[in-house]
Amino acid sequence: MSDEKVEEFNLIDEHGEKYLLRDLRKRGGNDNRSDRPNLFFPLYYNKNLETISLERRTADDIEILPRKSDGTDGCWRWGKERVAYFIKHIHPKQSSKTGYWGAEYRVYLNSKFNQYAISSDEDDCDFERSTKPKSVWFGGEHSTDIAKKELKKLFPKNDFDYPKSTQSIKTMVRMGSADSDIILDFFSGSATTAHAVMQLNAEDGGSRQFIMMQLPEPCDEKSEAHKAGYKTIAEIGKERIRRAGAKIKAELNAQQSPNSQGSLLDANAQRSSPLDIGFRVLKVDSSNMSDVYYTPDTLNQNMLDMITDNIKPGRTPEDLLFQVLLDWGVDLTLPIHKEIILGKTVFFVDENALVACFDTGLTEELIKELARAKPLRVVFRDNGFSSDAVKINATQIFRQMSPGTEVKAI
């Protein structure tokens, strides 16, 4: 506690402890009866017995209500339950003023200490000496001006409206997560959270990941972002992640060089792998599978061509791959690489966690090549096989060469 705070405790109790009296009536915002009706109730003070209670016990008890100086109804800081628990620390005092209702009494809390440690035993309950913590959101580093300057470094020719400060987001991430957690932002905006997570990982060696969610909300045509060619807020976010990631990684590499005078990385932090600034962009869409709901009596010969392929037109192999990852519960952030095997495009997810080929005209030779990789899962297009015999044999080939592989066709 600072010396200034200690000086505020200018009263001394019977035990020689310093204290001050704090009005139990709520002050400031939301201090009207209508704001908190449950905090408006009477206290009863017996001047002769020097007792205070929530119930009237004698005819001499004086009713005290949380009246404001203008005569309107206010409210107490505490509810009935807490007042009852700390009743011995609450003291009424008659004011020299005369209010609208006659002699004015106020109720004070013995604020020798301003935070409370409530024990299960009322006789043991006591106050813990401390001061109210200050808000972490004060300071220039949390201001919109600082946030604009941060964005200006990434987008020199643009001036975006009301961005969030990365320092604010970093503070929240530190407060509410571990260094390997996934940080989700449902309203990503310009992707400040992604920027902050990458920056924090660079500073403390963490491996946090982020998920940014943003509707493709159009940018105001009069905004600087729209003038710069960004049609939606989501496009701004994607570009910011690219630029911020490259900038952070360049700074980290430069500051970790032998000739550097300092580093972003904390002295006590250890990095087990290179800083990851990669990200994937996924868009919510309908299923890749065709919706066929025709009844037999509504079908005709001309419509049969429509249902020969169960995949909707225009869907790419990557579209199919990510639907399979979702259906199988495979992590969407796993590394993926493509190979051309016997003229067909094959996707390998995390080496052998999943192998997928959505080309058509697949042969037994290709199936055997994939089985030799012994993947945990393999998926093909339902009509991707060169013949029905190859489709039937595919399952048998994996059963013989890689019995632990789960085979699926979509």
* Alpha-helical runs (H) found in 267-379: 317-328, 364-372
pLDDT at 264 over 90: no
Q: What is the pLDDT of residue 35?
A: 87
Domain extent, residue 229, equals: 140-255
Q: What is the pLDDT of residue 49?
A: 87
Q: Among 22-36, 87-101, 139-153, 310-324, which stretch is predicted with the lowest mean pLDDT?
A: 87-101
341 lies in the same domain as 241? no
**If you count DSSP H runs as helices and E runs as strands, how many of each does the chain have, helices first?**
10, 17
Higher pLDDT, 126 or 233: 233
Average pLDDT value over all residues in the chain:
82
In-domain check, residue 285: no
102 lies in the same domain as 199? no
Structure-block tokens of residue 40: 């408006």
311-356 pLDDT tens trace? 888 899 999 999 999 999 999 989 999 999 999 999 999 999 999 9
In-domain check, residue 145: yes
Q: What is the pLDDT of residue 280?
A: 94
86-96 pLDDT tens trace? 888 888 887 66
Q: Taking each helix axis from N to C terminus, what angle separates 192-204 and 233-255, rounded to the nearest 10 degrees?
A: 10
Q: What is the pLDDT of residue 378?
A: 97
308 lies in the same domain as 356? yes
Q: What is the pLDDT of residue 296?
A: 59
Q: What is the pLDDT of residue 402?
A: 96
| Identity of the highest mean pLDDT range in 67-71, 158-162, 247-251 | 247-251
73 lies in the same domain as 175? no
In-domain check, residue 120: no
CA nearest to 52, candidates 106, 111, 132: 106
149 lies in the same domain as 247? yes
Q: Which long-range contacts (CB under 8 A, 24 or more apart) does 315-321 make?
A: 315/288, 317/345, 317/347, 317/356, 317/358, 317/359, 319/285, 319/288, 320/288, 320/356, 320/358, 320/381, 320/410, 321/347, 321/349, 321/356, 321/358
Number of domains in the chain: 3
Q: Nearest 5°: CA angle at 400, between 398 and 403?
A: 65
pLDDT at 265 over 50: yes
> How large is the average pLDDT for residues 383-404?
94
Length of the chain: 410
Task: Say which residues have a Cβ less than 8 Å from residue 318's Cβ, sequence separation at least 6.
Answer: none
332 lies in the same domain as 400? yes
88 lies in the same domain as 148? no
Task: Say which residues have a Cβ less than 8 Å from residue 38's Cβ, sequence separation at least 6.
Answer: 79
79-119 pLDDT tens trace? 999 999 888 888 888 766 655 444 567 787 766 544 333 33
In-domain check, residue 288: no
96 lies in the same domain as 156? no
> If DSSP codes are grouped into helix, strand and coil, which group holds residue 83?
helix
* Single pTM value for the model: 0.59
190-230 pLDDT tens trace? 999 999 999 999 998 899 999 999 999 998 888 878 888 89
Q: Quick one: how far is CA 337 from the chain centroid?
A: 30
- Banded model confidence at residue 41, pLDDT cuts 50, 70, 90: very high
Q: What is the pLDDT of residue 53?
A: 92
Side-chain half-sphere of 376: how many Cα atoms within 13 Å? 9
In-domain check, residue 2: no
- Banded model confidence at residue 254, pLDDT cuts 50, 70, 90: confident
> How large is the average pLDDT for residues 33-52?
91
Higher pLDDT, 292 or 196: 196
> How large is the average pLDDT for residues 255-266?
63
